A and B are shown apart, each in its own frame.
Chain A
Amino acid sequence: MLARNAEGLYWLGRYVERTSHLCRLLREQMETLVDRPVREIHFGWRRIYGALRRRPPGPAIGFGGSDDDFTLADSFALADDLTFERSNPDSVWSCFAAGRENARQMRQCITGEMWASLNLPWLRLRELRIEDVWKTAPEGFYAEVSRDLDTFMGVVERTMYRDDRWRFLQIGRCVERLQLAVSLLLAHVDEVTAAEDGSDHDWMSLLRVCNALDAYTHRYGVGIRADRVFELLVVDARLPRSLYDAADAAGRELTALAPGPGPTGEAASLAALITRAVRGPWPTGEHVLDERCERLRQIETRCRAFHAAVMAAHVQYEIDAPAP
């Protein structure tokens, strides 16, 4: 496969995951706006911006204190920034546009069904403005985009031939999932630690963002405990969005790739290291949150190194060597 195409498919996977992740965060936040206390609304916004490592536009979140009207106006501006702002590379619009553009350039590498299932939602999304979705039920809009992307991934599963094209797309998805999940966990812990009056709702909302509330209830019952949420989201191989699942799948797809002309050993070692770090055992005891966060940051660094190693092995390799 053409090296540039491999990179395009890898990024297609990453952008689709990124858009879907952001939609789930925003859908959850929109539901919070309906009936949750102002504190939780501020918590949600700070968690999103923290996870994206971005500063929100305008004054710091929470500036309006407990004024409901102010909080809603604030939320409108923040939702616009994160959804339709073209100059924000992390907005839903920008991420979807980037994923769809990758698909457009890689159309000869993907199936017609994949293209259609990404292009049609894009044609609906591209002309929308925040006013269009805000006036009724904005959470419905985010849920719909999430469903569109789930459909796209379903179409990928059902129509794409399982060769290296498939594998690069999957590796991109896994790397993105790992990075997004780690970043969200770190932002969540930051906010939980800072909050003086935190509630179970904070952890439940995290489960909902990760589509894991049903799985949690099924496994642990209705009582929410932070350590169990962590265990489910990070270590549990049976949860489709767990860190372990993403790390394990990335390693598996990497191993199945045809050997690249660049140095391949490094990517494989990093994949093994990441999987081992995710599997645990994780620190327990007095300073559990600090130590776990330290481990998460380590995983995040290795993910970045893994990305660079995959590119160096298969895409951006040196070609000074004589041709075959």
Chain B
Amino acid sequence: MDFGAYEIDPAVYDEMFGPDGAPREHSRPLREALGRLPSADLAEIQERVSRSFLNEGITFTVYGDESAEERIIPIDCIPRILAAAEWKRLEAGLAQRVLALNHFLADVYSDARAVSDGVIPEDLVVDCPQYRREMRGMRPPHGTWVAVCGTDVVRTNDGFVVLEDNLRVPSGVSYMIANRRAVKAGLRRLYRHCRVREVEHYGRLLRETLRELAPAGSREPTLALLTPGVANAAFYEHMFLANEIGGELVEGRDLVVRNRAVYMRTTEGLRRVDVIYRRVDDDFLDPLVFRPDSLLGVPGLMDAYRHGSVVIANAPGTGVADDKSVYPYVPDLIRYYLSEDPIIANVPTRICRRPADLEYTLDNLERLVVKRVGESGGYGMLVGPHATPAEREAYAREMRANPADFVSQPVLDLSRAPCFIDGGPEPRHVDLRPFVLRGRRTRLVPGAFCRVALRRGSIVVNSSQGGGGKDVWVLEG
């Protein structure tokens, strides 16, 4: 494949090439191997990778798109490579962040020291729609509120920054593994040559994490993954992970609460469940406590949870710590709880509830990304430079009406990585979602789900909006 026409922009970090166009040291073997590979062969590998996803039914669903009930995430066959030292720093930074966020959750649901000490405004916490008063006074095992965290990290010329934390029901880890299996099979000789660290033991680590969280006294805890059902966008992942952890994939209708304990309906009667890895949002977990119209949840589940007979991971109420309005305070929270400086920085964020920040945002709308607090998945976001004047004006009206619902950030020059597009290499913007597990201790697999904005020039990487994926190769040190 010929890289002759590959465009390098010194203002944007390229994952494979330095600003002078020379391959970065750790990417050299990949660059050379791709250079030797005829485009037709790479096209065949690309085709095989895509086909393997379809054949194996590794699909997702897009809400509101009835014509495409099951779709595959387009996977680019050229891996993104991270050097051992890069990963080591990321790993330390992510572990630090998840630990601090767990401290924060334990704090805001007990005596709220961070609030009384002025680290974070009280109303911002208690008025957050994700703050669950029902969780006050709860003490999950080992202080672990967040057992599974998917943190979105991007790279600019200034280094890695955290874009957002996903602490409720983060998804994408199955794609990390599926991408690896498919790309490894396509580039087998190169894979072996590069000495890439494995990611396929993620399921075992998740199982160990969940078992550590089991209620005291359950020697062989029964694990279950609670899914909203087959219509959910991430159903494939739910099925995959249930299998990996050796648990049942259950829906709300499979569970009942008796004597303040949770049971699942089996063909031999009711069987006790000890740990629920839930992939259902808080609102739908228990109609007796949260949304009364929920058909996805289990009546009485929260009572059993409070009683201590079952553990729910992630704990209900964790959404307050990944809300876009809390995000700007995370570096301060790390300093406050851990007495350490953050290893990975945040994106500079303006909080529109502050009049000065609102004014700045409105004055610079065409240069900023504006996000709604309480939204995720790229929905409800305004990318200023790509929006029309009419769209910006409509958004500005909403911001003036409800400033507290918005935060703004500069448009980042997300790093780019070469993708195989139309028979040749073209740069596309990428992000990175590594997954952090926390039970009694923190665990990470050396890898991540790398999302790619496949449309030329786009920086929106969400799979629901035209994004694709890439395998991430973390090299051995």
Task: Collect the chain B residues with CB atoms within 8 Å of residue A120's CB.
Answer: 55
Q: Is A18 an interface residue (CB 8 A)?
A: no
- B contact residues, range: 20 to 34
Task: Please tell me if the beta carbons of B57 and A115 are within 8 angstroms of each other in the complex.
Answer: yes
Instruction: Return A3 CB to nearest CB of chain B, in Å.
Output: 4
Instruction: Return A182 CB to nearest CB of chain B, in Å.
Output: 27
A115-B57, A123-B54 as given contacts; A2 in contact with B266, CB under 8 Å: yes
Task: Please tell me if the beta carbons of B267 and A258 are within 8 angstroms of each other in the complex.
Answer: yes
Task: Collect the chain A residues with CB atoms within 8 Å of residue B263's CB.
Answer: 323
| CB < 8 Å neighbour of B56 from A6, A119, A259 | A119
A105-B230, A323-B270 as given contacts; A3 in contact with B54, CB under 8 Å: no
Task: Please tell me if the beta carbons of A3 and B265 are within 8 angstroms of each other in the complex.
Answer: yes
Report Cα–Cα, A120/B253, bound state, in Å. Answer: 31
Contact with B along A227-263 (1 / 0, CB 8 A): 0000000000000000000000000000001111100
Task: Please tell me if the beta carbons of A2 and B248 are within 8 angstroms of each other in the complex.
Answer: yes
Contact with A along B328-352 (1 / 0, CB 8 A): 0000000000000000000000000
A2-B250, A123-B55, A319-B256 as given contacts; A104 in contact with B230, CB under 8 Å: yes
Report Cα–Cα, A50/B254, bound state, in Å. Answer: 38
Task: Collect the chain B residues with CB atoms within 8 Å of residue A315's CB.
Answer: 267
Instruction: Return A261 CB to nearest CB of chain B, in Å.
Output: 4
Task: Collect the chain B residues with CB atoms within 8 Å of residue A168's CB.
Answer: 267
Report Cα–Cα, A115/B240, bound state, in Å. Answer: 13
A123-B55, A319-B256, A324-B270 as given contacts; A2 in contact with B265, CB under 8 Å: yes
Report Cα–Cα, A186/B299, bound state, in Å. Answer: 48
Task: Collect the chain A residues with CB atoms within 8 Å of residue B243's CB.
Answer: 107-108
Q: Is A215 an interface residue (CB 8 A)?
A: no
A107-B239, A258-B268, A323-B270 as given contacts; A4 in contact with B55, CB under 8 Å: no
Task: Collect the chain B residues with CB atoms within 8 Å of residue A115's CB.
Answer: 56-57
Q: Is B64 an interface residue (CB 8 A)?
A: no
Q: Is B431 an interface residue (CB 8 A)?
A: no
A3-B254, A108-B242, A319-B270 as given contacts; A119 in contact with B57, CB under 8 Å: yes
Task: Please tell me if the beta carbons of B264 and A323 are within 8 angstroms of each other in the complex.
Answer: no
Task: Please tell me if the beta carbons of B55 and A2 are within 8 angstroms of each other in the complex.
Answer: no
Q: Is A164 an interface residue (CB 8 A)?
A: yes
| Complex interface residues of chain A between 5 and 23 (CB less than 8 A to chain B) | 5-6
Chain A residue at minimum C-beta to C-beta distance from B224: A2
Q: Is B261 an interface residue (CB 8 A)?
A: yes
Q: Is B258 an interface residue (CB 8 A)?
A: yes
Q: Is B251 an interface residue (CB 8 A)?
A: yes
| CB < 8 Å neighbour of B55 from A108, A116, A260, A322 | A116
Task: Please tell me if the beta carbons of B261 and A323 are within 8 angstroms of each other in the complex.
Answer: yes
Instruction: Return B363 CB to nearest CB of chain A, in Å.
Output: 51
A2-B266, A314-B267 as given contacts; A323 in contact with B230, CB under 8 Å: no
Instruction: Give me the interface of B with A, judged by CB distance under 8 Å.
Output: 54-57, 230, 239, 242-243, 248-251, 253-254, 256, 258-259, 261, 263-270, 272
Q: List 29 A-B contacts (CB under 8 A).
A: A1-B266, A1-B268, A2-B248, A2-B254, A2-B266, A4-B253, A4-B254, A4-B265, A101-B230, A105-B230, A107-B57, A107-B243, A108-B242, A108-B248, A119-B55, A123-B54, A164-B267, A258-B267, A260-B269, A261-B268, A261-B269, A315-B267, A319-B265, A319-B270, A323-B256, A323-B259, A323-B261, A323-B270, A324-B270
Given contacts A3-B266, A112-B56, A120-B55, 10 further A-B contacts (CB under 8 A): A2-B265, A5-B248, A6-B267, A123-B54, A258-B267, A314-B267, A319-B256, A323-B272, A324-B269, A324-B272
